[in-house]
Amino acid sequence: KNEVEQSPQNLTAQEGEFITINCSYSVGISALHWLQQHPGGGIVSLFMLSSGKKKHGRLIATINIQEKHSSLHITASHPRDSAVYICAVRYGGSQGNLIFGKGTKLSVKP
């Protein structure tokens, strides 16, 4: 079965801490997405990557294709980073082939 596993499920941090969220998957993929879901429910795309590393502001995403693993890092965390972070992987050739992880709920305390 194709699966996407995220860890941890829940994460509480103090403002300023360095945060890492992990994503492991079991199939060969063409792309991996990191998404952020706000408390209101809307989802924003943070990164799409198929190799290496991407950086946007305080967020860094890495992927290791051989190990089937990706990490999302947040440097100098802030309460406004509190959200659910979702990993999703695209596999195969069909447009509908996208598997989502269950998400990691992050709470950053001031």
Partner 1 sequence: DGGITQSPKYLFRKEGQNVTLSCEQNLNHDAMYWYRQDPGQGLRLIYYSQIVNDFQKGDIAEGYSVSREKKESFPLTVTSAQKNPTAFYLCASSVLGTAGELFFGEGSRLTVL
- Which residues of the chain form contacts with partner 1 (CB under 8 A)? 4, 30-31, 33, 35, 40-45, 48, 50, 86, 88, 90, 93, 95-103
Peptide bond into 8 cis (omega under 30): yes
Q: Which is nearer to partner 1, 29 or 108 (by Cβ)? A: 29
Residue among 21, 76, 14, 18 nearest 47 (CA):
21
Provide, rounded to whole angstroms, the least separation between the CB of residue 96 and partner 1. 5
Pairing of strands 69-74, 31-37: unpaired
Q: Which is nearer to partner 1, 50 or 64 (by Cβ)? A: 50
Q: Which is nearer to partner 1, 93 or 110 (by Cβ)? A: 93
Provide, rounded to whole angstroms, the least separation between the CB of residue 31 and partner 1. 6
Q: How many of the other CB atoms lie within 10 Å of CB of 41?
A: 7
Provide, rounded to whole angstroms, the least separation between the CB of residue 38 and partner 1. 9
